[in-house]
Amino acid sequence: MARAVTTQRKAINTAFAWGVGLLIFFPILWTILTSFKTEAQAISDPPVFLFFDWTLENYAVVQERSDYMRFLWNSIIIAGGSTILGVIIAVPAAWSMAFVPSPRTKDILLWMLSTKMLPAVGVLYPIYLLFIKLGWLDTQIGLVIVLMLINLPIIVWMLYTYFKEIPGEILEAARMDGATLKSEILYVLTPMAVPGIASTLLLNVILAWNEAFWTLNLTAAKAAPLTAFIASYSSPEGLFYAKLSAASVMAIAPILIMGWFSQKQLVRGLTFGAVK
Amino acid sequence: MATQHSRSAARLMMAPAVFLLLVWMLVPLSMTLWFSFRKYLPLRGGDLGWAGFDNYVRFVTSSAFWPSVMTTLIIVGGVLIITVVFGVLLAMLLDQPMWGQGVVRILVIAPFFVMPTVSALVWKNMFMDPTNGLFAHLWKFFGAEPVSWLSQASLESIIMIVSWQWLPFATLILLTAIQSLDSSQLEAAEIDGAKPVSRFYHIILPHLGRAITIVVLIQTIFLLSIFAEIFVTTGGAFGTKTLTYLIFQRVLESQNIGLGSAGGVYAIILANIVALFLMRIVGKNLDT
Amino acid sequence: MGRIQLKQVKKSFGDVTVIPPLDLEINDGEFVVFVGPSGCGKSTLLRLIAGLEDMTDGKIEIDGQDATSLPPAKRKLAMVFQSYALYPHMTVRKNIAFPMRMAGMDQAEQDKRIASAAKALNLTDYLDRRPGQLSGGQRQRVAIGRAIVREPEAFLFDEPLSNLDAALRVGMRMEISELHKKLATTMVYVTHDQVEAMTMADKIVVLQAGVIEQVGSPLELYRAPRNKFVAGFIGSPKMNLIEGAEATKHNAQTIGIRPEHVEVSTTDGLWQGTVGVAEHLGSDTFIHVHGVPGCDPMTVRVGGEIPVTHGDTVFLTPNLQHLHRFDAEGLRLA
């Protein structure tokens, strides 16, 4: 790694990589730029890139007109709620599997993973039916539970791989030092696992926030999150580029920021620890 | 490795997660299985009794089935090829020494965090729209006739949108794998006189083999069930009806639950075949 | 006080028996070392005493009281782990305080004990650092400090020196020995290194495959190993074991002679051989001799310097007073 590279070579790399990076990022950049244009500028021919009259009007209009706040609130509740609930259920399970492994631990982990691979469409109607029976259709609680269940395997897996890195001897030392199971988890395990738990929370908020099968199919108006809010723009009467852009930026900005923070942990979480 | 006391505590603490997932798996699955053997039309009389394998036969023999399988395969295959090839190239590029590596990484990874409905909508309107889309302007600038992307080249367009979303995922995983390559291996090969191209084929690519397999398997599982991208862009028209979308239409649009459920069982079997390979790799990794 | 008795203690994992029923008595104030090759069950035995593992069968008494089903925290034992097992998110002070905090001891008493332990272990200047900022030897001391402040009935050490480099190991070995003299508390110490066992122990327990091969003081084990295994394990370099005609002469299946009990001559002696490697350490010379019937190579230790090199012919004569005889089962013959 510590090889000297000529400045010229490095400059070429840099130029090339930045070019490719900007190209990939361009759709997002273009959306951000368009969100600050007027509707007329947004569809002007030829398109304007930077030299237009910057305005915040679209953001104001989107918020007023479409109850943006309600969708945002639903997204926050659903993504946050399902993640927190999932972590509360997963921490004890991951502790057990990491520190008290039994011959069946591996099978249980793999089985949990296999539930994640169940294609959603295969169980669409049963879930739909159960939701009607339970009165959960178009409710926050219903989506919190479904998204918690589809992400639970990932949460357990991520926590498991993080816990696995904590040497068991430290927990045994705590036991020798007179700690009960509760104080062992509270004072020793949790503080040591904080970075792992944090990145697990982050990644799963992202996944839940962007989930677009159940949120589209199990909500109508009341509990619809931002995914559904954006989908509603696909109908012809919603076609205003600048406003669509503003709405899009508002829907993706918080998650984009969280995603950048969690990119290092992303790999581990999404490959179930198979690539680190 | 533990005492009786901690083992029983462990079982107790594992119980909620195991129980919930067991219910989540078994209840809907057995319902789907049950419905798939019934003639069940909620809007036209409800449950009309036992249907045997009728639904299974009708689902495969319907004129929409084979095209939907082909569509699914083309989309999954297309996206896989694009993301893996460009993912390897991008990962190698990002591994080079440069200024502002962190920022480039962030630029490249960003599309993965964009929610599917947003990316579908942005691409559909702001890029692929035949009058106001950026592509139309670009085509006109070069004197070409603007293309009506989502109707004339619908599959290609969807592959492009989905690839844009998944390229960051492939790149990030492959980059992680490249960075775990012991650089002394490459240096040894260089001393042994291996040219850059043969270093790539004989050292980098084999090293990436496992990561590529994982990318392919995980993406396949997600890609088999892409939904929002099609729902928002074409609504299944212009030959973009995938197996997932076909089942969705049978269940929620035409409310033929029996038929849709039989399709669901096919989808589950298909996903399980892929899953089996993935689990074997992940499982092997657990032992080490 | 810290008297530990194991009665018919047995441990199996599934169908595999790691420790067949075993009896052992550890007296109050004794420094007992469990020694044996890796996988011999010595660590498992220690963990059974600690309560970190369940026994399959049998009984453990600490101070005459049945501790078989007591959780680790209630056994009044302190343990020092191979990896030190310090809490990385706590300062040295908090690490040492942790067991007292768990016991709900009042703050003034905690501070007093931390101060005295830190002073005894030369940690006073490091109390506010994290384990990550300490050297291996310092971490080891923190782990010992954490054990001391509890004033336990007995200390358990699980290969505590194996992560230290050779020079530090010798120093820590003496520190632990001195600590034992000062506290006069029972210590149970697990190691695979027979030098540690010989230098530190009041009583050595040699284990192989979960079975106690011999219990005794270091010199008892050195002078009268009960069987071939102990003979080969205790002492460095290893005892030479000779089979065949030479052994038959002494009415034994195998005879053993320690390298330091063989005389070397360049002119005459009982056995003739060729020098393979001669290691000149200055204080001693170790010679590996090929060609001795029934034992190839035979290792010989000579005090001081002797001018032999590879290929030289030497003559060896064992000191018959120190000859060990073993029967067909490998057991010592009187």
Q: Is B269 on the interface with C (CB under 8 A)?
A: no
What's the pLDDT at C1?
A: 66
Q: Which parts of chain B are beta strand (E)?
A: 38-41, 46-50
Interface probe for B, chosen from A5, A9, A24 (most Cβ of B below 10 Å), is: A24
Enumerate residues 74 to 133 of chain B having a beta carbon within 8 A of any beta carbon in chain A.
90, 93-94, 96-101, 103-127, 132
CA distances from C223 to B12, B181, C256, C257 (A): 54, 54, 12, 11
Q: Kindly report the nearest CA distance between residue B9 and chain C, in angstroms.
A: 13
- Tell me the chain B residues in contact with residue A276 when contact means C-beta distances shorter than 8 Å: 176, 180
- Tell me the chain A residues in contact with residue B27 when contact means C-beta distances shorter than 8 Å: 126, 130
With beta carbons less than 8 A apart as the criterion, state whether C52 and A172 touch.
Answer: yes
Taking an 8 Å cut-off on Cβ atoms, the answer to whether A173 and C85 are in contact is: yes
For residue C188, give the H/E element and its range. strand C186-191
Tokens (6 digits) for C173: 């070995």
Is the pLDDT assigned to residue C247 strictly greater than 70? Answer: yes
Enumerate residues 2 to 61 of chain B having a beta carbon within 8 A of any beta carbon in chain C.
2-5
Burial class (CB in 10 A: 0-12, 13-18, 19+), C286: middle
Architecture of the C4-229 domain: 3-Layer(aba) Sandwich (3.40)
Return the percentage of chain A with pLDDT > 90, whole number.
13
- Tell me the chain A residues in contact with residue C78 when contact means C-beta distances shorter than 8 Å: 176-177
Note whether residue A166 is domain-resident.
Answer: yes
Pairwise CA distance, residues C80 & A12, whole Å:
56
Taking an 8 Å cut-off on Cβ atoms, the answer to whether A170 and C86 are in contact is: yes
Q: Kindly report the nearest CA distance between residue C51 and chain B, in angstroms.
A: 8
A174, A187, A192 member nearest C88 (Cβ): A192
Is the pLDDT assigned to residue B1 strictly greater than 50? Answer: no
Same domain, yes or no: A108 and A216:
yes
Q: Of the candidates A20, A40, A59, which is a domain's last residue?
A: A59
Same domain, yes or no: A83 and A118:
yes
Pairwise CA distance, residues B275 & B217, whole Å:
7
What's the pLDDT at B288?
A: 47
A10, A216, A259 member nearest B228 (Cβ): A216
- Tell me the chain C residues in contact with residue B1 when contact means C-beta distances shorter than 8 Å: 53
- Reported residue count of chain A is 276
Which chain C residue is nearest to residue B2, measuring alpha carbons? C53
Q: Kindly report the nearest CA distance between residue B81 and chain A, in angstroms.
A: 17
Least trusted range by pLDDT, from A15-24, B276-285, C117-126, C325-334: B276-285
Q: Kindly report the nearest CA distance between residue B49 and chain A, in angstroms.
A: 17
Res. B196 pLDDT band, cuts 50 70 90: confident
Interface probe for C, chosen from A176, A186, A189, A197 (most Cβ of C below 10 Å), is: A176
Is the pLDDT assigned to residue A265 strictly greater than 80? Answer: no
Same domain, yes or no: A32 and A105:
no
At residue A100, φ and ψ (nearest 5 deg) are -125, 60
Note whether residue A31 is domain-resident.
Answer: yes
Which residue has tokens 């027979």? Answer: C194
Res. B167 pLDDT band, cuts 50 70 90: very high
Note whether residue A109 is domain-resident.
Answer: yes
Is the pLDDT assigned to residue C267 strictly greater than 80? Answer: yes
Touching subunits for chain C (3+ Cβ pairs under 8 A): A, B
With beta carbons less than 8 A apart as the criterion, state whether C200 and C174 touch.
Answer: no
Return the percentage of chain A with pLDDT > 70, whole number.
91
What's the pLDDT at A3?
A: 56
Question: What residues does C61 pair with on adjacent strands?
Answer: C5, C66
Same domain, yes or no: A27 and A159:
no
C87, C103, C150 member nearest A170 (Cβ): C87
Is the pLDDT assigned to residue A124 strictly greater than 80? Answer: yes
Return the percentage of chain C with pLDDT > 70, whole number.
100
Note whether residue A26 is domain-resident.
Answer: yes
pTM of the model: 0.80
Could you report the per-residue pLDDT of C187-238, keeping only the tens digit for each? 999 999 999 999 999 999 999 988 999 999 999 999 999 999 999 999 888 9
Could you report the per-residue pLDDT of A178-222, keeping only the tens digit for each? 888 888 888 898 888 888 888 888 888 888 888 888 888 888 878
Taking an 8 Å cut-off on Cβ atoms, the answer to whether B121 and A230 are in contact is: yes
Touching subunits for chain B (3+ Cβ pairs under 8 A): A, C
Residues of C in CB contact (< 8 Å) with B are 51-54, 71
Same domain, yes or no: A127 and A241:
yes
Touching subunits for chain A (3+ Cβ pairs under 8 A): B, C
Question: What residues does C149 pair with on adjacent strands?
Answer: none
Taking an 8 Å cut-off on Cβ atoms, the answer to whether A100 and B264 are in contact is: no
With beta carbons less than 8 A apart as the criterion, state whether B220 and B76 touch.
Answer: yes
Whether the CA torsion C200, C204, C206, C210 is positive or negative: it is negative
What's the pLDDT at B13?
A: 87
Identify the structural domains of chain B with CATH numbers, from first to last. Answer: 65-240 (1.10.3720.10)
- What is the end-to-end Cα distance of chain A in Å, rounded? 19
Is the pLDDT assigned to residue C18 strictly greater than 60? Answer: yes
Taking an 8 Å cut-off on Cβ atoms, the answer to whether C86 and A191 are in contact is: no
Interface probe for C, chosen from B3, B4, B5, B6 (most Cβ of C below 10 Å), is: B3
Taking an 8 Å cut-off on Cβ atoms, the answer to whether C53 and B1 are in contact is: yes
Note whether residue A276 is domain-resident.
Answer: no
Taking an 8 Å cut-off on Cβ atoms, the answer to whether C53 and B4 are in contact is: no
Same domain, yes or no: A134 and A211:
yes
Note whether residue A275 is domain-resident.
Answer: no
Interface probe for A, chosen from B21, B92, B119, B249 (most Cβ of A below 10 Å), is: B21
Which chain A residue is nearest to residue B242, measuring alpha carbons? A121
Q: Of the candidates A59, A78, A93, which is a domain's last residue?
A: A59
Taking an 8 Å cut-off on Cβ atoms, the answer to whether A175 and C150 are in contact is: no
Could you report the per-residue pLDDT of A44-96, keeping only the tens digit for each? 777 777 777 788 888 887 777 767 788 888 999 999 999 999 999 999 899 88
Taking an 8 Å cut-off on Cβ atoms, the answer to whether A119 and B176 are in contact is: no
Decide: helix, strand or coil at residue C239. Answer: coil
CATH at A112: 1.10.3720.10
Give 3-state DSSP helix, strand, coil % of chain A, rounded to 5.
75, 0, 25
C237-326: CATH homologous superfamily? Nucleic acid-binding proteins (2.40.50.140)
What's the pLDDT at A2?
A: 46
A173, A178, A180 member nearest C81 (Cβ): A173
Mean pLDDT for B159-179 is 90
Res. B286 pLDDT band, cuts 50 70 90: low
Tokens (6 digits) for A9: 């070579």
Same domain, yes or no: A55 and A70:
no
* Choice between B3 and B181, residue whose per-residue pLDDT is larger: B181
Pairwise CA distance, residues C244 & B274, whole Å:
64
Note whether residue A216 is domain-resident.
Answer: yes
Q: Kindly report the nearest CA distance between residue A172 and chain B, in angstroms.
A: 10
- Tell me the chain A residues in contact with residue B288 when contact means C-beta distances shorter than 8 Å: none
B27, B111, B117 member nearest A231 (Cβ): B117
Mean pLDDT for B194-209 is 81
What's the pLDDT at A1?
A: 43
Res. B81 pLDDT band, cuts 50 70 90: very high
Compute, in degrees rounded to 10, the torsion defined by CA atoms A150, A67, A64, B113.
Answer: 10
Tokens (6 digits) for C254: 């195998």
Interface probe for B, chosen from C53, C57, C60, C70 (most Cβ of B below 10 Å), is: C53
Between helix A140-164 and helix A124-134 the angle, nearest 10°, is: 120
- Tell me the chain C residues in contact with residue A187 when contact means C-beta distances shorter than 8 Å: 98
Same domain, yes or no: A160 and A234:
yes
Taking an 8 Å cut-off on Cβ atoms, the answer to whether C52 and B3 are in contact is: yes
Res. C274 pLDDT band, cuts 50 70 90: very high
State the average pLDDT for chain C. 90
Compute, in degrees rounded to 10, the torsion defined by CA atoms A256, A257, A261, A262.
Answer: -30
- Tell me the chain A residues in contact with residue C43 when contact means C-beta distances shorter than 8 Å: none
What's the pLDDT at A204?
A: 87
Same domain, yes or no: A231 and A105:
yes
Same domain, yes or no: A50 and A71:
no
Instruction: Give the domain extent around A262.
Output: 66-270
Could you report the per-residue pLDDT of B122-164, keeping only the tens digit for each? 888 888 887 778 888 888 888 777 777 777 788 888 999 999 9
The β-bridge relationship of strands C186-191 and C154-158 is parallel
What's the pLDDT at A4?
A: 62
Number of domains in chain A: 2
* Choice between B200 and A130, residue whose per-residue pLDDT is larger: A130
Same domain, yes or no: A195 and A239:
yes
Most confident segment among B248-257, C90-99, C294-303: C90-99
CATH 3.40.50.300 residue spans of chain C: 4-229
Nearest alpha-carbon partner for C312 in C273, C269, C268, C280: C273
What's the pLDDT at A235?
A: 65
Nearest alpha-carbon partner for C204 in C212, C215, C194: C215
Long-range contacts of A37-43 (CB under 8 A, 24+ apart): A37/A241, A37/A242, A37/A245, A38/A242, A39/A240, A39/A241, A39/A242, A39/A243, A41/A242, A42/A240, A42/A241, A42/A242, A42/A245, A43/A241, A43/B132
Decide: helix, strand or coil at residue B243. Answer: helix
Which chain C residue is nearest to residue A171, measuring alpha carbons? C85
Contacts of B37 (CB under 8 A, 6+ apart): B50, B51, B52, B53, B55, B258
Could you report the per-residue pLDDT of C2-15, keeping only the tens digit for each? 899 999 999 988 88
Return the percentage of chain B with pLDDT > 70, whole number.
98
State the average pLDDT for chain A. 83
Tokens (6 digits) for C274: 């060729």
Same domain, yes or no: A16 and A76:
no
Number of C-beta neighbours around residue A166 at 10 A: 18
Mean pLDDT for B34-44 is 80
What's the pLDDT at A234?
A: 67
- Tell me the chain B residues in contact with residue C52 when contact means C-beta distances shorter than 8 Å: 2-3
- Tell me the chain B residues in contact with residue A273 when contact means C-beta distances shorter than 8 Å: 282, 285
With beta carbons less than 8 A apart as the criterion, state whether B174 and B213 touch.
Answer: no
Question: What residues does C19 pair with on adjacent strands?
Answer: C11
Note whether residue A171 is domain-resident.
Answer: yes
